[in-house]
């Protein structure tokens, strides 16, 4: 459990993320540990995380915990190690659990396994999604759940009484269809909309993929990268219109540089 400038605390049960999204902003984690493999091809399991957490819940001030900021807490290896589940159980069984609200954000249907524990916590469960087109997902987010699985998982969570939200992220210029996402996700309590993080490490990795698979979208990306303010205003205006049209409250619209780490 680490203090964070993005929220009060973050918990990252893993270093690396097997989902391997082509736009991931967390690849800088490789630098800290001198990792040579490509992002998506390594994963380090923080096996002692649940044990350490017991004391941290006691000593830390009340606040909001985001899981997770630089990995997906349901990255595929979680099915084997169950570190995330142990973390959630540690919080649920702690005498200090009421000090903390929890925000879970994933792209995996594996979270269904833990609905029983989530129901014991003050939690908002979100799915990150940027398209309904599974052909796009298979290229951009090769190991994550397909969009229909993510939406189904959120609906199932809601039926269990868990508060759910949509994290429309990142808005991929010329690819993300905000209207169809707002329409499909309007059963959620609220939605975040996050623009693409256009820091150099993201762009260097993402643009060859766009050029290869979606060459007709290059001009949309060029506009978003070179005119960030105009692009932000355009997305903001559209999101505000869709908020009214589909009754899905926009919690916030995040500009890429506000999350630049």
> Is 71 or 90 the residue whose CB approaches ligand SF4 more closely?
71
* 137 binds ligand SF4, rule: CB under 6 A: no
Of 114, 109, 184, the C-alpha closest to 149 is: 109
Given a contact cutoff of 8 angstroms between Cβ atoms, the answer to whether 166 and 194 are in contact is: no
> Could you say whether residue 1 binds ligand SF4 (CB under 6 A)?
no
Half-sphere exposure for 133 (CA within 13 Å, toward CB): 11
140 binds ligand SF4 (CB under 6 A): no
The verdict on 17 binding ligand SF4 (CB under 6 A) reads yes
**Shortest approach of ligand SF4 to residue 38 CB, angstroms?**
11
Q: By CB under 6 A, is residue 72 in contact with ligand SF4?
A: yes
CB nearer to ligand SF4: pick between 6 and 159: 6
Q: Which x/- pattern, by CB under 6 A, does the window 88-127 give for ligand SF4?
A: -------------------x--------------------
Among 19, 85, 150, 256, binds ligand SF4 (CB under 6 A): 19
Q: Name residues whose C-beta falls within 8 Å of residue 34's C-beta, 6 or more positions apart in sequence.
A: none
Of the candidate spans 20-28, 48-56, 190-198, 235-243, the one that interacts with ligand SF4 by CB under 6 A turns out to be 20-28
Q: What would the DSSP string read from start to end of the chain?
A: -EE-SSSSEE--SEES-TT--TT-SGGGHHHHTT--SPTTS--EE-TTHHHHHHHHHHHSPSEEEEE-SSS-TT-TTHHHH-HHHHHHHHHHTSTTGGGEEEEEEES-GGGGGGHHHHTTS-EEEEEEES-S-HHHHHHHSTTSPPHHHHHHHHHHHHHTT-EEEEEEEEE-TTT--HHHHHHHTTTSSEEEEEEPP--HHHHHHHHHHHHHH-GGGHHHHHHHHH-HHHHHHHHHHHHHHHHHHHT--EEEEE-GGGG--
Using CB under 6 A as the binding rule, the residues of this chain from 220 to 249 that contact ligand SF4 are: none
- By CB under 6 A, residue 198 contacts ligand SF4: no
Q: Does 78 bind ligand SF4 (CB under 6 A)?
A: no
Q: Is 57 or 70 the residue whose CB approaches ligand SF4 more closely?
A: 70
Residue closer to ligand SF4 by CB (options 90, 108) is 108
Q: Is 210 in the site for ligand SF4 (CB under 6 A)?
A: no
Nearer to ligand SF4, 72 or 114 (CB): 72
Q: Which CB, 27 or 242, lies closer to ligand SF4? A: 27
Q: Summarize as ranges the residues that interact with ligand SF4 (CB under 6 A).
A: 17, 19-21, 24, 26, 71-72, 107, 144
């Amino acid at each position: 459990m680490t203090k964070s400038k993005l929220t009060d605390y973050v918990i990252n049960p893993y270093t690396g993320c097997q989902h391997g999204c082509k736009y991931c902003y967390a690849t800088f984690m490789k630098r800290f540990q001198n990792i040579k493999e490509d992002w998506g091809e390594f994963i380090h399991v923080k096996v002692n995380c649940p044990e350490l957490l017991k004391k941290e819940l006691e000593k830390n001030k009340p606040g909001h915990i985001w899981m997770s900021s630089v990995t997906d807490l349901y990255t595929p290896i979680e099915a084997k190690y169950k570190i995330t589940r142990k973390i959630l159980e540690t919080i649920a069984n702690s005498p200090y659990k009421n000090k903390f609200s929890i925000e879970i954000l994933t792209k995996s249907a594996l979270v269904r396994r833990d609905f029983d524990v989530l129901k014991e916590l003050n939690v908002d469960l979100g799915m990150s999604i940027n398209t309904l087109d599974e052909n796009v997902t298979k290229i951009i987010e090769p190991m994550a759940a397909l969009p229909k699985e993510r939406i189904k998982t959120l609906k199932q969570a809601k039926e269990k009484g868990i508060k759910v939200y949509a994290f429309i992220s990142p808005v991929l210029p010329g690819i993300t269809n905000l209207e169809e996402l707002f329409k499909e996700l309007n059963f959620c309590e609220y939605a975040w909309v996050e623009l693409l993080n256009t820091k150099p490490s993201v762009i260097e990795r993402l643009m060859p993929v766009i050029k290869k698979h979606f060459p007709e979208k290059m001009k949309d990306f060029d506009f978003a990268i070179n005119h960030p303010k105009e692009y932000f205003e355009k997305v903001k205006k559209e999101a505000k219109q869709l908020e009214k049209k589909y009754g899905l409250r926009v919690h916030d619209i995040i500009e890429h540089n506000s999350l630049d780490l």
